[in-house]
Amino acid sequence: MKRWIWILVAIIVAGSIGGYAYARHSQNNRLYDQQMTRGNAYIASKKYSSAETAFTNALKRKQDDKKATTFLKQTQTFVSAQKALNDRKFSESKQQFTDVKNTDQGNEQLIDRAKTNLATLKTVQANIKNYNKVYNQALDQAGEGQYMESNASLDKIFNDKAIHQTYYKDVLKKAEKLRDDNNKAINGQPNDQSTVDNDDDSSSTAVSPNLDPDSSSSNSQSNTNTNPDSSSASLTPEEQKQADNYKGSNEYTVKPGQNEIDGQEITNAQVNTARRDLQQSGFDTGAMSDQDVKNLIKGASEKNQSVTDYAKQTLK
């Protein structure tokens, strides 16, 4: 009799445990499905941060679940791709959107949006290529003293409706800087810092030791009629001594007319173009001051040679 009682008790206990386990399993499945549904809904409304939270909660109900893991990673990659696009890191963005698009059994909405963004990126990169082609043409024209023609070329960029989109911020900025330099040259005004060249990030003004790179610019702007030799008044005795001992060329060793060709001042745009050509020909332009480059430009003009050919003869 006791034996049957114990058997009955065992059956009841086993049934209770099994029922509890089944109920818990069912509840986990229900909560998992609920979080996955929420995640997909958040993606539909483009609330990606909330979607990530939902998929993370789904994984708490089913650890290592393939679908939840895939959706979570796909969402995170999509968000990262969008950020890279907004930061104009186009290559990085393209790779990440491609990963989202190629996700096996991923969220279809994210896949479709990734395809749309890839199409946008293709257009953006093509536009940037065209803008840079026009910009380089304008830069070359400015380097040849054709400032009005350079501005006319830049107008092709400014008149394009797409140029004011955030993707083209860098292109627009350097185009506006070149236009400002052109206008100053047309009006006979001194330029500020050198125009940024698209092909050479190192084309900023080279500065001699212990000289303030802003001093010559600010002095020239405040008084365009000042004799170049009088610039030494802004130097300390030690700086003047170093300038006197300096064997190269800089703004403190310029003679009257040295930076002019046929009465026209050599512009920053011409210096930038010459730097680019010299660098492409293998010269270390980083070791040259702007005055060194201007000397090459003037010498090449006097010899009716290109700057690179003249440099090959004089910088052996």
Residues 42 and 184 in one domain: yes
> The pTM is what?
0.54
Coil, strand or helix at 55: helix
Per-residue pLDDT, 307? 83
- Distance between alpha carbon 99 and the CA centroid of its chain, in Å? 22
Residues 164 and 213 in one domain: no
**Distances in Å between the alpha carbon of 41 and those of 19, 54, 84, 272?**
33, 10, 24, 54
Q: Distance between CA 113 and CA 123 in Å, rounded?
A: 16
Task: Tokens for 268, please give them.
Answer: 């920053």
Residues 79 and 171 in one domain: yes
Residues 159 and 296 in one domain: no
Residues 67 and 183 in one domain: yes
Q: Is residue 230 part of a domain?
A: no
Strand pairing partners for 134?
none
Residues 84 and 179 in one domain: yes
Nearest to 290 by CA among 262, 254, 241, 242: 254
* Cβ contact 134:150 at 8 Å: no
**Distances in Å between the alpha carbon of 115 and those of 106, 211, 308?**
13, 53, 46
Q: Is residue 200 part of a domain?
A: no
pLDDT digits (tens, 9 = 90+) for 193-234: 444 444 443 333 333 333 233 333 333 333 333 333 433 334
Nearest to 270 by CA among 259, 282, 255: 259
Provide the residue range defining the domain that includes 177. Answer: 38-189
* Cβ contact 67:108 at 8 Å: no
Q: Is residue 198 part of a domain?
A: no
Residues 74 and 161 in one domain: yes
Q: Is residue 181 part of a domain?
A: yes
Residues 44 and 185 in one domain: yes
Q: Is residue 107 part of a domain?
A: yes
Q: Distance between CA 313 and CA 264 in Å, rounded?
A: 25
Residues 170 and 272 in one domain: no
Question: Is the four-CA dihedral 231, 234, 237, 239 of positive or negative sign?
Answer: negative
Helix axes 268-280, 169-186, angle to 10 degrees: 120
Q: Is residue 194 part of a domain?
A: no
Per-residue pLDDT, 27? 74
Task: Tokens for 50, please give them.
Answer: 């909330």
Residues 160 and 55 in one domain: yes
* Total domains, the chain: 2
Contact residues for 126 (Cβ-Cβ < 8 A; gap 6+): none
Question: Is the four-CA dihedral 280, 194, 249, 274 of positive or negative sign?
Answer: positive
Per-residue pLDDT, 302? 83
- Spell out, as residue ranges, where the chain has pLDDT lower than 70: 1-25, 191-256, 286-287, 316
* Cβ contact 279:197 at 8 Å: no
Residues 182 and 264 in one domain: no
Residues 213 and 110 in one domain: no
Per-residue pLDDT, 215? 36
* Cβ contact 84:93 at 8 Å: yes
Burial class (CB in 10 A: 0-12, 13-18, 19+), 9: exposed
Per-residue pLDDT, 54? 94
Q: Distance between CA 218 and CA 52 in Å, rounded?
A: 53
**Distances in Å between the alpha carbon of 141 and those of 66, 124, 130, 203?**
59, 26, 17, 18
Q: Distance between CA 96 and CA 77 in Å, rounded?
A: 6
Q: Is residue 195 part of a domain?
A: no
Residue with tokens 């830069």: 139
